[in-house]
Structure 1
């Protein structure tokens, strides 16, 4: 990538930067689906702060700037729901999304005992679908949210060795 981006657990003080980055990153999704009322664009700072306390939230930093983030929560059956994977537009297509995904998978499998990973994205979000398939996710179903938006659900089993190696060497 040519720059030093570090990935670590998010702190409560990161909430505002994460929310601003989320708003920036989801503009293209909102445009793609013609819907600017999607949850990432309407989430409040208080709701985001609550998420920071409930699960595994990671940030990617370039210096002091939060340039990426991802969230994960494990349910009672051991399924980790991965959400909110965002990378600043100027840093996209440099592998940071994959590094964040590998890091959250590693933490959820290790610290939270996840037995499987699940995430979802819109059916027209080809870049997201390509990234998730590259990381071993397979489509398990679709859900029509609105006439314009169908979510594709993807899952995979933990692969501790590969995720750890990629997270630590990338």
Structure 2
């Protein structure tokens, strides 16, 4: 049974565990999109901790995090900054559960997220949850993202 709880990358050893899951998950996305220039893939623990984000993590048993989601929020919007699932835990509903947990906190605010344009599993997840495609943007040469929004 997966348990979702509020976490902080500032806690040890959790911060390092979150970073490891993040790097593994973004390595999979890099393969899917054919590009490894995804900034969180190359982030250090210090850089991860320096981000002003709120975090939830999913735990399956006593092992480290199976996945995590981080977001920033304002009075009118939640911006999902990252959603990561350990590759060994993929396709078990962990990503969906994490996004749903953030949506439950939105309280009517708009929720935005972006993912690699060619990351079909992530796009299916967001579209399946009712997100609407805002558009596709070339953020750096030959690296495209798809932006989504949902009004809860």
TM-score normalized with structure 1 length: 0.80
Tell me the CA shift for residue 67 of structure 1: 0.8
Corresponding residue of 1:163: none
Q: Match for residue 26 of structure 2?
A: 26
Instruction: Give the conservation status (yes or no) of the 8 Å contact 1:59–1:69.
Output: yes
Local SS of the residue matching 2:56: strand
What's the C-alpha RMSD, in Å, of the aligned pairs?
1.6
In structure 2, the residue matched to 1:85 is: 83
More helix by proportion, 1 or 2?
1
1:104 to 1:19, Cα distance in 2 relative to 1, 3 A? same
In the TM superposition, residue 45 of structure 1 has moved relative to its aligned partner by: 0.7
Aligned counterpart, 2:73: 74
Aligned positions, number: 148
Match in the other structure for 2:4: 7
Q: Residue by residue, what CA displacement relative to the aligned partner does 1:92-117 show, whole Å, maximum 9, x if unpaired?
A: 1111111000111223x25xxx6100
Query: Structure 1: 5+ residue runs without aligned partners?
Result: 159-170
Distance in 2, matches of 1:10 and 1:85, equals 14
From 117, 120, 143, the equivalent of 1:123 is: 117
1:35: Cα distance to partner? Answer: 2.8
**Which residue does the alignment assign to 2:54?**
56
Q: Aligned equivalents of 1:95 and 1:32: distance in 2?
A: 19
Greater strand content: 2
Q: What is the TM-score when the length of structure 2 is the normalising length? A: 0.89
